[in-house]
């Protein structure tokens, strides 16, 4: 069991934990959550013994082996499999002893050492390493490739594999889903559910947390608050807790106000002075209950440009790739206003290649790619984050895009992305990865594109920012094309999926559940390991059918969009009338005519709203069934 008792933890003069207490039973799977900078990674350093608590007691069983992922991987010449096996330090040491005994031809010692190797199940570890690497998305051909040949994101996967193979009673994982795709996240969920030790997981991926953990520990007000269940259960419990806290706070404030009124009235009267003084002391002793803090620090929207073309983009027999190597071929798709698309496909299938072409940063190798006259994309990818000017401030980045803009307008806009006050004047260089990602998203939103192209936008974003991003995308009126391993974001923001597989891109008829189930099917795994198994005639027929379906469903989609616009217009007008009716002065008798007119409008608008809702539901049902 892990026991934290009255822990105080400071970093750079900032109090992260103050008299915090938590208890984690053995075998428990726990998500550690909280905003960026709250102290989650510092808690891991404390558990690893790399930090010492400034106060309090931390108790971890002395015999527990702890596995924790490295943050950096140098460009080694060792193979991927050997790098993973380096995580098994006891196995490596035993191998060295066997080599020494073999050189000395010490048969007695060799017998003992091979017995120990058998106890460690050491003869199966290479197969285990290969299985983990394949699960994390590596191909068979990559197993013997050197670590130095892999990019940074793939080296992170190598480190994760090295951590997973270690024998441990405590596993600490800090943002393990960063740099993974949806398919690999799905595999990792299954692996972690089978892990028999104690798991502590820092993650901002709510669906991943939901699938893995049975307990949540949240950083709140320099305390560690424990919630039973997964992330969804945490949200319900926290909402109830905040409601109770708010009620207690309001009751306390009423009591405080009564006491303050008594003091104000009677402290100068000799007969009441002692009572007034006692109430003053009671006020001083009264613990301040903070009102429930449920507001997110993020307030932003994505605004689409007013002008659109239909189609916005037409792709015909498109081939994309690099140099002479084609990654995608025979792509025949169209982008129409209102489409919200999630791109599915394994890492390396060509999702980023496809989205780069949509952004205009990658030209076609062959075929036709015709943009509409009003095609204004906003593109988010990791290289946009890396390209930020580290010597400039967020405000300077905005003003460079729009020199004519008013400074206060830019500051207000940045405030919605939680660059508030002087934070807008901080240099980008020292910012965290999450802050840089927020700034890159802010720069895109500032330009009001009518197409948002988002390639893994949630990396480094905390849960509050991810929820705000999902809300902003839901309200966005333009086209959305998104690649993300964050299942919650995908399910909350897209209406349809395109699958990048077997060297092309085709509409996918299922949902995320069906796609992930397909990934587990042996026949699909076999087909995805062999390129070109889908006959060309079948692909052409599928593309032709997709084009016909798109053309047939376009009027139905337009009817849905029109119904939604009408519904929103009526709702906005009804909200305005309701606000007017909330004016207390309206009921003093002198404005009777105005009151009656507003009540009449309210009744008519309520009826109109019901009719608009009915039309929207009919249009939505027709579109879904088409």
- Other C-beta atoms closer than 10 Å to the C-beta of 577 total 19
The predicted pLDDT at position 262 comes to 65
List the single range of 298-307, 363-372, 530-539 with lowest mean pLDDT: 530-539
| Main-chain phi, psi angles of 218, to 5 degrees | -115, 135
pLDDT surpassing 50 at residue 258: yes
> For the domain 1-65+168-229, what is the CATH code?
3.40.50.300
The predicted pLDDT at position 295 comes to 55
Q: Collapse the DSSP code of 28 into the 3-class scheme (helix H, G, I; strand E, B; otherwise coil) and give the result.
A: coil
Determine the distance from the C-alpha atom of residue 175 to the mean position of all C-alpha atoms in its chain, rounded to a whole number: 10
Share of the chain above pLDDT 90, in %: 37
For residues 195-202, give the mean pLDDT. Answer: 94
Give domain 557-625's CATH architecture. Orthogonal Bundle (1.10)
Q: For all residues of the chain together, what is the average pLDDT?
A: 83
| Main-chain phi, psi angles of 489, to 5 degrees | -60, -45
Interval 34-83: pLDDT, tens:
887 788 989 999 999 998 999 999 999 989 999 998 877 776 788 999 99
Q: 123 is written with which tokens? A: 């003869």
Rg (CA), the chain: 30
For residues 418-447, give the mean pLDDT. Answer: 91
Q: How confident is the model at residue 529 (pLDDT cuts 50, 70, 90)?
A: very low
Question: Could you tell me if 32 and 227 are in contact, meaning their C-beta atoms sit under 8 angstroms apart?
Answer: no
Question: How far is Cα 149 from Cα 233, in angstroms, rounded to an integer?
Answer: 43
**Homologous superfamily assigned to 313-534:** P-loop containing nucleotide triphosphate hydrolases (3.40.50.300)
Question: How far is Cα 9 from Cα 125, in angstroms, rounded to an integer?
Answer: 39
List the single range of 7-21, 295-309, 445-459, 578-592 with lowest mean pLDDT: 578-592
For residues 145-173, give the mean pLDDT. Answer: 91
Q: How confident is the model at residue 528 (pLDDT cuts 50, 70, 90)?
A: very low
Q: How confident is the model at residue 532 (pLDDT cuts 50, 70, 90)?
A: very low
Q: How confident is the model at residue 534 (pLDDT cuts 50, 70, 90)?
A: very low
Q: How confident is the model at residue 276 (pLDDT cuts 50, 70, 90)?
A: low
The predicted pLDDT at position 620 comes to 63
Give, in order, the Cα–Cα distances in Å from 414 to each of 386, 406, 408, 428.
19, 13, 10, 13
The predicted pLDDT at position 415 comes to 92
pLDDT surpassing 50 at residue 525: no
Q: How confident is the model at residue 84 (pLDDT cuts 50, 70, 90)?
A: very high
Question: Could you tell me if 351 and 398 are in contact, meaning their C-beta atoms sit under 8 angstroms apart?
Answer: no
98-120 in b/e form (b: 16+ CB < 10 A) is beebeeeeeeeebeebeeebeee
Interval 467-492: pLDDT, tens:
889 888 888 889 999 999 888 888 88
292-328 in b/e form (b: 16+ CB < 10 A) is beeeeebebebbbbeebbebbbbbeebbbbeeeebbb
Strand partners, 534: none
């Amino acid at each position: 069991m892990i026991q934290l008792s009255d822990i105080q933890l400071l970093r750079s003069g900032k109090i992260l934990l103050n008299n915090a207490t938590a208890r984690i039973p053995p075998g428990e799977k726990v998500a550690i959550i909280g905003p960026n900078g709250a102290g989650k990674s510092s808690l891991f350093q404390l558990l690893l013994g790399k930090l010492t608590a400034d106060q309090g007691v931390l108790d971890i069983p002395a015999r527990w082996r702890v596995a924790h992922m490295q943050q950096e991987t140098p460009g080694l010449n060792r193979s991927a499999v050997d790098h993973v096996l380096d995580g098994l330090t006891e196995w490596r040491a035993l191998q060295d002893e066997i080599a020494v005994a073999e050189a000395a031809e010490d048969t007695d010692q060799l017998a003992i050492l091979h017995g120990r190797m058998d106890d460690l199940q050491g003869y199966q570890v290479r197969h285990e390493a290969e299985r983990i690497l394949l699960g994390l998305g590596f191909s068979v051909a990559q197993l013997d490739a050197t670590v130095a040949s892999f990019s940074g994101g793939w080296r992170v996967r190598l480190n994760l594999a090295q951590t997973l193979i270690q024998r441990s009673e405590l596993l600490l994982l800090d943002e393990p889903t960063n740099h993974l795709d949806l398919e690999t996240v799905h595999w990792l969920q299954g692996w972690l559910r089978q892990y028999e030790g104690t798991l502590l997981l820092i993650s901002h991926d709510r669906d991943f947390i939901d699938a893995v953990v049975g307990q949540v520990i949240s950083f709140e007000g320099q305390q560690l608050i424990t919630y039973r269940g997964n992330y969804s259960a945490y949200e319900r419990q926290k909402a109830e807790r905040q409601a109770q806290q708010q009620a207690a706070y309001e009751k306390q404030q009423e009591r405080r106000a009564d006491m303050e009124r008594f003091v104000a009235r009677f402290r100068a009267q000799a007969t009441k002075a002692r009572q007034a003084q006692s109430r003053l002391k009671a006020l001083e002793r009264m613990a301040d209950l903070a009102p429930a803090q449920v507001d997110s620090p993020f307030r932003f929207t994505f605004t689409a440009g007013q002008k659109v073309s239909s189609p916005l983009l037409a792709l015909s027999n498109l081939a994309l790739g690099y140099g002479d190597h084609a990654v995608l071929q025979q792509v025949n798709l169209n982008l129409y206003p209102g489409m919200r698309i999630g791109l599915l496909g394994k890492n390396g299938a060509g999702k980023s290649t496809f989205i780069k072409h949509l952004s205009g940063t990658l030209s076609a190798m062959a075929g036709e790619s015709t943009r509409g006259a009003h095609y204004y994309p906003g593109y988010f990818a990791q290289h946009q984050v890396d390209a930020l000017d580290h010597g400039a401030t967020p405000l300077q980045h905005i003003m460079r895009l729009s020199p004519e803009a008013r400074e206060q307008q830019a500051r207000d806009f940045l405030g919605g992305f939680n660059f508030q006050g002087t934070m807008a004047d901080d240099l980008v260089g020292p910012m965290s990865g999450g802050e840089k990602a927020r700034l890159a998203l802010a720069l895109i939103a500032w330009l009001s594109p009518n197409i948002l192209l988002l390639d893994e936008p949630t990396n480094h974003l905390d849960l509050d920012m991810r929820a705000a991003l999902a809300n902003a995308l839901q309200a966005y009126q333009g086209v959305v094309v998104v690649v993300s391993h964050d299942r919650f974001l995908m399910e909350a923001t897209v209406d349809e999926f395109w699958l990048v597989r077997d060297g092309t891109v085709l509409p996918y008829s299922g949902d995320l559940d069906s796609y992930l189930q397909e990934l587990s099917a042996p026949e699909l795994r076999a087909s995805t390991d062999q390129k070109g198994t889908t006959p060309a005639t079948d692909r052409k027929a599928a593309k032709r059918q997709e084009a016909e379906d798109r053309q047939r469903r376009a009027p139905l989609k337009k009817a849905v969009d029109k119904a939604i616009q009408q519904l929103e217009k009526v709702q906005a007008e009804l909200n305005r009338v309701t606000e007017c009716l909330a004016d207390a002065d309206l009921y003093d008798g002198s404005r009777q005519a105005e009151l009656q007119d507003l009540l009449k409008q309210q009744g008519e608008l309520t009826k109109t709203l019901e009719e608009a809702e009915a039309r929207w539901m009919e249009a939505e049902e027709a579109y879904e069934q088409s």
